[in-house]
Structure 1
Amino acid sequence: MSNTETMLASILTAPHEISLERVPVPEPGPGQVLIRVTAVGVCGSDTHFYETGAIGDIIVQGPLALGHETAGVIAVVGEGVDSARIGTRVAVEPQTPCRRCEFCKTGRYHLCKQIRFYGAWPVDGSFSEYVLVDDDFAHEVPADMTDEQAALVEPVSVALHAARRAGIAAGDRVLITGAGPIGILCAQLARVFGATEIVISDPIAHRREFALAHGVDRALDPTVEDLSEYAQRFDVYLDASGNARAIIPAFEAIRRGGTAVLVGMGGNMLEVPIALIQHREITLTGTFRYVNTWPVAISLIATGQVIAHDLVTGRYGLDGVEEALMKAKTDPVAIKTMVIPSLTAAE
């Protein structure tokens, strides 16, 4: 930071408009820590906010810093936080629940009606040099974990929560649609949970090749291949595309008593084959972010059970956030883009 009282932040001011601004450094309150941001992954939800200014019923109503896949170093601690935490490298769990409602009290704090999520109006995210975090949601990472790996704990948590929701067990056969970062991580988590056959479908050749190099048994091109040979084969179906054209045909491939989990962001409405779901007693559910995943996700990355760092295909400073947000749509070989504040050009 060139000025100890201000910091650089990339601010969404309107759809398709990002402004690099100098803003005040926030001060941690009781139970909070100030994180110096070292790496932030670009998520599809960030891109959606950038393009449309909204996701579902979350509408951006003013200037907002996006970004929530965050790694950093604790720089300042608030009242009640052990000062020994200063200098600790952390992976940030980017949500603040009320901690008092029935969902929080029963360990399902991600469903808290009052939850505040980073980079979703009205809470600023971490496309900035510093960000505030609740002390207990700043999870220490091992010394040999890189900043980018620490930032990727967030998408690994998405996949971990999906695998738990699906109830993947040893010997299961798993179908995944969408071979972007979440689809690839879902495949790796399925293998960790004991799946013995994993098939993924994606129309982009590079992503299919990447999936095959990361534990997938077969990668299908849905533009020329269908799922007819897999009728009623899979115990679990995970969608990481949000695309109805991928989701609907997949139901035919789910066995009786199987489970379908919708992970990808799609439209607000989806027509599903109700009779088929009823007759086969298929369990259909979705995921909402994650809960109680950070320690496990950190361990999976640290022990090499999940290979996350290979996903990173581009890096930008805070002055390149607009390009970073669109990289997955403009570059056919892009998988995951990182924003690294230290790469920001000097003012």
Structure 2
Amino acid sequence: MSENIAAVLRGPYDVNVEKWPMPEINENEVLIKMSCVGICGSDVKFWSTGRCGMETIVEPIVMGHEGAGIVVKVGAKVKNLKVDDRVAIEPTQPCRCCEWCKQGRYNLCIEPGYCSSQGASGNLCRYYKHVSDFCHKIPENLTMEEGAAVQPLAIAIHACNRAGIKMGSKLLILGAGPIGVLCAMVAKAMGVTKILMTDVVESRLKTAKGLGADYTLLTKKDDVEQEIQDKIVNLLGSKPDVAIDACGYGSVQRIAMLVTKTGGTVLVVGIADSVVEVPLSQALLREVDIKGSFRIVRTYEPALEAVSSGAIDLKKFITHHFDIGQVKEALQLAKTGEAMKIIIHLNT
């Protein structure tokens, strides 16, 4: 077995591929030789600012949480996997004891052990260990790249479930990045009739148009918010039933709360600043439900099945490929917003 290497982040713009200790598994874990890892928007925020959401880097961490690989060693009590199984890694290792874990909402665990967060290693490395029951076998008709890209798809499925997506709904998605586009793909598969996506990057909207969006709207940061609302209503023919914020900006959340129809739903899946200014009363007095969606809960296997059955096509969603030695270049490209889904390959 060769030595371990990892993409280690020590602070803003300070990431390097270096030697890293080989993981030692316990009886409930498996050792995985990583094959593919996707780059996520949260990776870019950690790399460029040293923080993301409520997390701040205080010590070096291994990057990456969208991973797929091959099992090379299993713990003594592992029953669900064997050596040579291809697995997609659901990137959490919940405590299983807190109130939220006991309710089945392990995404809200108080000590989640989520990949690439403080106290939990990421999987952008050659060898990585994980609890076996959060490693899911990849169907034979899926590539390793698709296995890695299932992670953001599982997030999108959870978001659409939280939003109460229904057949025949009109949907507004603000932000045509990876999560926004996957939400459109999931919503279309769930029977949504009209999907409008907005973004400030034209190339993302062109990609979105081929992956689920019926209408697109290019916006600019200095656009008047009321004018954006008017354009949304004009394109959809009415106010949307559901609006999903997939980018996490206060201006976007304001538009979502005001343009969504009375009695509709605003779902926030984008990671915003800790404090944003929004027209809360104007939304609540119209009984617009405002919900959050955080990570993943019980949607990994449905995501794998959706891709395996052909209901969701992830091959078109994956746009760029790099090897682990090019991680800086991959992050720089991801920051521009020009790429949809970047996959880092570790078999080189």
Q: TM-score range by the shorter chain?
A: over 0.9
Q: Residues 109 and 19 of structure 1: is their aligned pair in 2 closer, same or farther, counting only changes over 3 Å?
A: same
Change in CA separation of 1:163 and 1:83 when aligned onto 2, cut-off 3 Å: closer
Matches of 2:167 and 2:261, distance apart in 1: 16
Aligned equivalents of 1:287, 1:137: Cα separation in 2: 20
Alignment of 1:260-339 (within 5 A): 260-330=266-336, 333-339=338-344
Which residue is equivalent to 2:62? 65
Q: Which amino acid aligns with 2:343?
A: M
Q: Which moved more, 1:315-324 or 1:92-101?
A: 315-324
Percent of aligned pairs with the same residue? 35
One-letter amino acid of the structure 1 residue matched with residue 97 of structure 2: R
Deviations 1:145-183 (A, max 9, x none): 001100011000110010010011111110000001111
Deviation digits for residues 88-139 of structure 1 (CA, Å, limit 9, x no counterpart) = 1111001011112221121111111111100111211011011111100010
Q: Does 1:111 align with 2:116?
A: no
Contact map agreement 2:39 2:334 (CA 8 A) in 1: no
Deviation at 1:40, TM superposition (A): 0.3
Equivalences for residues 1-347 of structure 1 within 5 A: 4=1, 6-82=3-79, 85-223=82-220, 226-231=228-233, 233-330=239-336, 333-343=338-348
How big is each residue's C-alpha offset from its partner over 1:173-203, in whole Å with a ceiling of 9 and x where there is no partner? 1000000111110001111222111111012
Mapped partners of 1:334, 1:73: distance in 2: 27
Alpha-carbon separation, structure 1, partners of 2:232 and 2:330: 37
Q: CA RMSD in A?
A: 1.6
CA distance in 1, matches of 2:232, 2:202: 21
Which shifted more, 167-176 or 78-87?
Answer: 78-87
Structure 1 gaps of 5+ residues are none
**Aligned partners of 1:104 and 1:20: how far apart in 2?**
35
**Secondary structure of 1:315's aligned partner:** strand
SS at match of 2:264: strand
Q: What amino acid is the match of 1:142?
A: P
Give the superposition deviation at 1:13.
2.3
> 1:53·1:59 contact (CA, 8 Å) conserved in 2?
yes
- CA distance, structure 2, for counterparts of residue 188 and residue 10 of structure 1: 31
CA distance in structure 2 between the aligned counterparts of 1:195 and 1:120, rounded to whole angstroms = 35
Contact 1:13 1:64 in 2 (8 A): yes
Alpha-carbon contact 1:165-1:287 (below 8 Å) kept: yes
Whole-Å separation in 2 of the counterparts to 1:245 and 1:222: 12
Query: How far, CA to CA, are the matches of 2:20 and 2:36 in structure 1?
Result: 19
TM-score normalized with structure 2 length: 0.93
Distance in 1, matches of 2:335 and 2:190, equals: 31
Query: How many angstroms apart in 1 are the aligned matches of 2:255 and 2:53?
Result: 25
| TM-score of the superposed pair, with normalisation by structure 1 | 0.94
The amino acid across from 1:212 in the alignment is K
Structure 2, unaligned stretches of length 5 or more? Answer: none
